[in-house]
Amino acid sequence: MRGELSVNICNLEYTFRKTDTFHLQINDLDYSFNGVLGMYGLSGSGKTTFSKLLAGIIEPVSGSVSFFTNGHSAVPKIIYSPQFPERILLGIHIGDTVQQILSQNVNKIGVYDSICNHLQKFSLDFNNIRDKSGFELSGGELRRLAIALSLALSPELLILDEPTIGLGRRGKTQLYSILEEFRQQHHIMIVSHDFNLIRRICNHYWILDRGKLIFTGDLNALRRQQDIIEKVGINSLEHYLTATVKTEEMETL
C-alpha cells in the first residue's frame, strides 16, 4: 500500500530572470495525495517549472514546498521523469548509466530486475540496448528507458512530465497498464498539456494558467467550472468530460 503523503505550498514564487514575463505564483495549497494527480495547463503555463519546484530540482525565489507523512514533516523520495529525456540521456552509455544507478542503491538486484521488467513491459530488451549510447536510441525508446529507470527507483512520488510524447499508440497502452499497477504502491503525478491523457489516468486535477493555479478538484467539480473549461481550451472536449467515456474511444486519440 502507498504511504500517506501530503504537501503544503505556501506563497511559492518563481521567475527565470527579473526581466522575464513568466512568473509562477502559487499562493496557498494543501493537498493529500490519493490516486493519480494530473497537472494540466496550456503549453507555457508553467507545468514543468512547477513540477521541478515540487521535486526540489529548482529552488523558489520565495515561498516553500513542504511534505508531510502522517502529520510529520517529511522528505519523500521524489523522482521527476523529464519532459525532455534526450537532454539527459543522449550523451550517456546505457550500460554504464545503469551500473551507476545500481551502485547508488543497496538493493542492486531488485533495482536491476525492476529496470529489466519495466523495459520488457515496454517491449524493450535491456540486453539489446545496454551497449548503446543514448543517441543510438529512437525518441520513443529514450522515453521508455527514462520512464523505466524512474519506476525502478521506486519513488514515494513519481512525477511524469509529458510521459506519452513519442510513445505511439502501443507505447501509450503499455504505459497505462504499467501505471495502473504502479499506482497501487506509489503516488503518481502526471504532467501534460494533453487533457485526454490526464482525463484517462488521473482522478484529481491541478490546472495551471499563466503561472497560476486556477483549479484543483475532480472531474465533477471541473464540469461545474465552465469559465475554466473555456479558458484552458478543453471546451471542445466536452464529450471527454463525461464520466462514461469508453476506453476504446480514448485509445484512438
Ligand X SMILES: Nc1ncnc2c1ncn2[C@@H]1O[C@H](COP(=O)(O)OP(=O)(O)OP(=O)(O)O)[C@@H](O)[C@H]1O
Of these partners, Mg ion, ligand X, none, which one is at the site of residue 204 (CB under 5 to 8 Å by kind)?
none
Strands (E), 75-219: 78-81, 157-161, 187-192, 204-209, 212-217
Dihedrals phi, psi of 114, to nearest 5 degrees: -65, -40
Q: Name the helix (H) or strand (E) containing 7.
A: strand 6-14
Residue 164 engages Mg ion in binding (rule: CB under 5 A): no
CA distance 69 to 137: 39
Of these partners, Mg ion, ligand X, none, which one is at the site of residue 43 (CB under 5 to 8 Å by kind)?
ligand X
Of these partners, Mg ion, ligand X, none, which one is at the site of residue 46 (CB under 5 to 8 Å by kind)?
ligand X
Closer residue to ligand X, CB minimum distance, 16 or 135: 16
Residue 48 engages Mg ion in binding (rule: CB under 5 A): yes
DSSP string, 140-151: HHHHHHHHHHHH
CA distance 22 to 45: 9
Q: How far is the CB of 193 from ligand X (least distance, A)?
A: 4
Closer residue to ligand X, CB minimum distance, 36 or 54: 54
Only one residue has cell 490519493, namely 34
Binding mask 213-232 for ligand X (x = CB under 6 A): --------------------
Alpha-carbon dihedral sign for residues 65, 69, 73, 75? negative
Residue 81 engages ligand X in binding (rule: CB under 6 A): no
Residue 144 engages ligand X in binding (rule: CB under 6 A): no
Which residues pair with residue 14 across a beta bridge?
24
Q: How far is the CB of 162 from Mg ion (least distance, A)?
A: 6
Q: How far is the CB of 80 from ligand X (least distance, A)?
A: 12
Residue 49 engages ligand X in binding (rule: CB under 6 A): yes
C-beta atoms surrounding 247 within 10 Å: 9
Alpha-carbon distance values, 48 to 45, 81, 130, 215, 250 (Å): 9, 11, 29, 17, 24
Using CB under 5 A as the binding rule, the residues of this chain from 66 to 125 that contact Mg ion are 83
CA distance 149 to 155: 11
Q: How far is the CB of 48 from Mg ion (least distance, A)?
A: 3
Closer residue to Mg ion, CB minimum distance, 47 or 199: 47
Q: How far is the CB of 79 from ligand X (least distance, A)?
A: 18
Q: In this chain, which of 32, 34, 44, 62 binds ligand X, going by CB under 6 A?
A: 44
Q: Which residues bind ligand X (CB under 6 A)?
A: 16, 20, 22, 41, 43-49, 83, 193
Q: Which residues bind Mg ion (CB under 5 A)?
A: 47-48, 83
